[in-house]
Structure 1
Amino acid sequence: MAAAGADVTLLTVDPGETADHDAHRAEWVRRGLLGSAAGLRNLFDDARSDPSWLYRAAIPGPAPASPWPTRAITDDGGATVLELPIVSGNAAWHLTDAPVRVYDGGAMIGWLPGFGGLYRAWLNALGAEPGDDASDGHSAPVVVLCEARQIGETLVAAGEPALDAGIRVLHTTHACHVLSPFRWDSPMDAAWERWFEVADRFDGVLWLTSSQRDDVERRFGESRLRSFVVPHPAPAVSASTDPVAGRIVILNSLIPRKRVDHVLRALPAVRAAVPAAHLRVYGDGAALGELRALAAELGIDDAVAWTGHVADPATQAWASADVLVLASTNEGQPLVVLEALAAGVPVVAYDMPYGPRDTLARGGGVLVDDGDVDALAAALIDVLSDRERRAELAAEGRAAAARMDAAASMRALGDAVRAALASPAPR
């Protein structure tokens, strides 16, 4: 985003200590992800350093009674700046009006209605700060890209203070919104149902794939949401690759949703056809012990290596992978598929919602019927046993990844931002 010309600031709302946030800032700068520490702002750090925005937004007088205990946020001198309600056992904690008490010099001077009131007051203050002027002399517009459903719900909720109508809120999505059996009309959990109730109040909703956007529009109607498709970008992979013949790679957490057990059950048939076939599993999780036991039960434990979590899979997993396999029940748009394509590693994936079908549309992999272990084994055998086929898929994958780079994602994001700025806020 910065390379595309935007003045980017990361906003966080975790109520930690300033020293911890300073360490986070330093790490972001060290990794080259922020130009300076000033590029990461935290609500509570801002409240400690200059609480004037709190004083302006606070409702004067005593706060309403609340059943919840509180947590004090103090400045460097130990003086209380805020008291936050500790709302426990409530999945909608962020939507309660439990008062956030505002203090000045040790005395309570007012309150804000819940976390929503606090978050909106902060964003309004940030939006009013002097920024870089555009070429026509007008202040640059403020666009918030919201990453978390709970935060997004608080920003567009009705209540005081209202979010300034000049601030545009685009909400990103990163996960499948339906439950099993993962069809367009399948049930949704309560969190998604609540989010969809207010999603028409966002200036734009950013979906990772056209498939998910289309399913949402089929369910709610094309005009319900301002929907845009902004996919993850494929990374630029510079590491050289030297695939080990027969090496099947899994790179994901070891949880039931990833269905690693399906890959283990497919492996005996793959080994029977391709004796060099073996599995290397990158990732960790609660299902590790159960999966190890299954490998032993299937008689393939000698062909499975459990490497655990690795910090830099680009130089480990992709450098030697012959094929990547993904057998999840559902995804948003799996980054692992984009990474594999960029590295020239063919992909065999279940045709699950969402991501593999859209991401492999330009080639580089093989889709098999969702949940069909025999089809999964057949596809792996095809890729591993036919070296010419594997080379074709590797070349297709690299070419596809080059077309799905960061510039392409930024163009899609730019289109969404321009559309949001050209329309009145729906709130």
Structure 2
Amino acid sequence: MGVAPTGGRVLPAARHFVLASRLVPDLDGGFTISVLRRAADMAAAGADVTLLTVDPGETADHDAHRAEWVRRGLLGGEESLRNLFDDARSDPSWLRRAAIPGSAPSSPWPTRAISDDSGATVLDLPVVSGDAAWHLTDAPVRVYDGDDGAVIGWLPGFGGLYRAWLNAVAAEGAAPGEERVPVVVLCEARQIGETLVAEGAPALDAGIRVLHTTHACHVVSPFQWDSPMDAAWQRWFEIADRFDGVLWLTPSQRDDVERRFGGRLRSFVVPHPAPVVSAPSDPVAGRIVILNSLIPRKRVDHVLRALPVVRAAVPAAHLCVYGDGASGAELRALAAELGVADAVEWIGHVADPATQAWASADVLVLASTNEGQPLVILEALTAGVPVVAYDMPYGPRDTLAHGGGVLVSDGDIDALAAALIDVLSDRNRRAKLSASARAAAAAMDAAASMRALGTAVRAALADPVSR
């Protein structure tokens, strides 16, 4: 993992912050891993980069998360992952400076107190329930002094709080009147992004560039370029031109967005890189691997329905399922109903499944209704494991464009079975796909991803701030 700078600076000179809602081990699937890998690749490319989170957990829990990420090799040092509420507990001076003085407006919502190690309340957060747009509330965040526990001021909602923190973090280390190093925030969460570019006080400092990364498909069923969007995406697109850049994972998604909305967004394609997989691959003949959550969107049921046909042609075929989820019991029952229960191994959740899965996989199958750009495909290609995937939006078509896999008509279970039979039964075919997978992964490495990111950041720094 990582990329060394070559032939000059990959990323422009700036202070880079990668901002996510939370980074909790074994939570939020590939999103969490992709954010940590991006920051690690930026650091390896020579960038000054810090990870930021805004989940209001306890400092002890955050410390445990940091230590675990360091142990897994996804965080260079615990100091490179900061949390808003940890900062507020340890030194709330930035919070008090940003607070609007006086009594806070009334609010219909109950509050949650955030206290420091001595038990003194630092701030109160509104607890908004029953509203998907809770993050856009202007309900006050009350700020307390450090002496007698009195309220000294307030901030307008989560947006006011997040912007005050980013302004303080961006100003660190700069002497009064001194020209600051440019500050670039890569926002990895849609809800946070909306709060950063919204109107309100305190405003985000004008010198901070905000680039927003997208991680998911923006349309719902039937997942065409002009399909409906849910309310969250509709709201996001209404303000997306206020970002200094929008980073899409695939050309296909960027092109669909431009087809629908025109060129009003500053769009760039910055794909996930193929990671380094150190474990040697020694495939077990017939081993089909699934590595995803067991939820309806992943359509594991399609793979189970294909399995009897595959086994009739390739008796050694068997399925290893890494992951768990709400559909687990239903899928196990379906395997029994289809008569393939003895050919399915339910591995469950594994903290670091990649090493175990790719070491013995004969083929990876992905049958989701939609994705952003699946990390699992990149991991499989790097390990030389052929991929059979539905041609769904977004990711498989772009990621497999240079080889290493077979695209199947979306939702066609018969075609899925035929493709699996083809790869599993023809060892020469499998060997060629494996070789092309490694070659394709080498072309989609961290260096390529960082070059694309560097292009986007340079463009953002060269243009006026969008807000």
Measured against aligned partners, the alpha-carbon deviations of 1:379-401 in whole angstroms (never above 9, x if no partner) come to: 11111111111100000000000
Where do residues 373-384 of structure 1 align in structure 2 (5 Å cutoff)? 373-384=413-424
- Structure 1 distance, partners of 2:75, 2:351, is 20
Opposite residue 217 of structure 1, the aligned amino acid is E
Q: State the secondary structure of the residue aligned to 2:48.
A: coil
Task: Report the identity percentage.
Answer: 86
Cα distance in 2 for residues equivalent to 1:35 and 1:276: 43
Aligned counterpart, 2:159: 116
Matched, 1:230 2:273: no
Q: CA deviation at 1:138?
A: 5.4
Asked if 1:267 corresponds to 2:307, the answer is: yes
CA distance in 1, matches of 2:380, 2:77: 32
Once residues 116 and 318 of structure 2 are traced to their aligned partners in structure 1, the CA distance between those partners, rounded to angstroms, is: 56
Q: 2:205 aligns with which of 152, 159, 164?
A: 164
Question: Does the residue aligned with 1:2 lie in a helix, a strand or coil?
Answer: helix
Residue ranges of structure 2 left out of the alignment (5+ in a row): 1-41
Moved more, 210-219 or 77-86: 77-86
CA distance in 2, matches of 1:213, 1:237: 29
Residue in structure 1 matched with residue 344 of structure 2 by the alignment: 304
Q: Distance in 2 between matches of 1:29 and 1:272?
A: 46
**Partners of 1:390 and 1:178 in 2: CA distance:** 34
In the alignment, does 2:439 pair up with 1:396?
no
Counterpart CA distance in 2 for 1:85 and 1:57 is: 18
- Taking structure 2 as the reference length, what is the TM-score of the superposition? 0.88
Once residues 51 and 314 of structure 1 are traced to their aligned partners in structure 2, the CA distance between those partners, rounded to angstroms, is 41
Q: d(CA) in 1 for partners of 2:74 and 2:415?
A: 41
Q: Is the 8 A contact 1:322 1:345 kept in 2?
A: yes
Please say if residues 239 and 314 of structure 1, whose CA atoms lie closer than 8 Å, have aligned partners that are also in contact: no
Q: Which residue of 2 aligns with 1:85?
A: 126
Counterpart-to-counterpart distance in 2, 1:111 and 1:380 = 59
Could you tell me how far apart the structure 2 residues matched to 1:346 and 1:302 are?
Answer: 24
Say if 2:74 is the partner of 1:33.
yes
For the residues of structure 1 that align with 2:340 and 2:68, how far apart are their CA atoms? 42
**Which residue number corresponds to residue 37 of structure 2?**
none
Matched residue type, 2:154: W
**Deviation of residue 315 (structure 1)?**
2.8
Q: Distance in 1 between matches of 2:74 and 2:336?
A: 43
Task: From the superposition, tell whether residues 32 and 245 of structure 1 become closer, same or farther in structure 2 (CA, over 3 Å).
Answer: closer
Partner of 2:447: 407
Greater relative CO, 1 or 2 (CA 8 Å, sep 6+): 2
Amino acid at match of 2:411: G
Q: CA deviation at 1:131?
A: 6.0
CA deviations over 1:13-32 (Å, ceiling 9, x no partner): 11222222222233333334
Q: Partner of 1:64 in structure 2? A: 105
Q: TM-score, normalised by structure 1?
A: 0.96
Q: Can you give the 5+ residue segments of structure 1 that lack an aligned partner in the other structure? A: none
**Contact persistence 1:240–1:319 (CA under 8 A):** yes
> Relative to structure 1, is the Cα distance of residues 31 and 254 closer, same or farther in structure 2, using a 3 angstrom cutoff?
closer
CA–CA distance in 2 between the matches of 1:162 and 1:151? Answer: 14
Query: Which residue does 2:406 correspond to in 1?
Result: 366
Q: How far does the alpha carbon of each residue in 1:302-336 deviate from its partner, in whole angstroms, 9 at most, with x for none?
A: 22111112223233211111111111110111111
- For the residues of structure 1 that align with 2:115 and 2:256, how far apart are their CA atoms? 47
What is the rounded CA distance, in whole Å, between the counterparts of 2:308 and 2:112 in structure 1? Answer: 56
- Distance in 2, Cα, partners of 1:238 & 1:32: 13
Q: Which amino acid is 2:292 matched to?
A: N
Contact (CA 8 Å) 1:324, 1:347: kept in 2 or not? yes
Higher mean Cα deviation, 412-421 or 50-59?
Answer: 50-59
Q: 1:331 aligned to 367, 371, 391, which one?
A: 371
| SS across alignment from 2:43 | coil
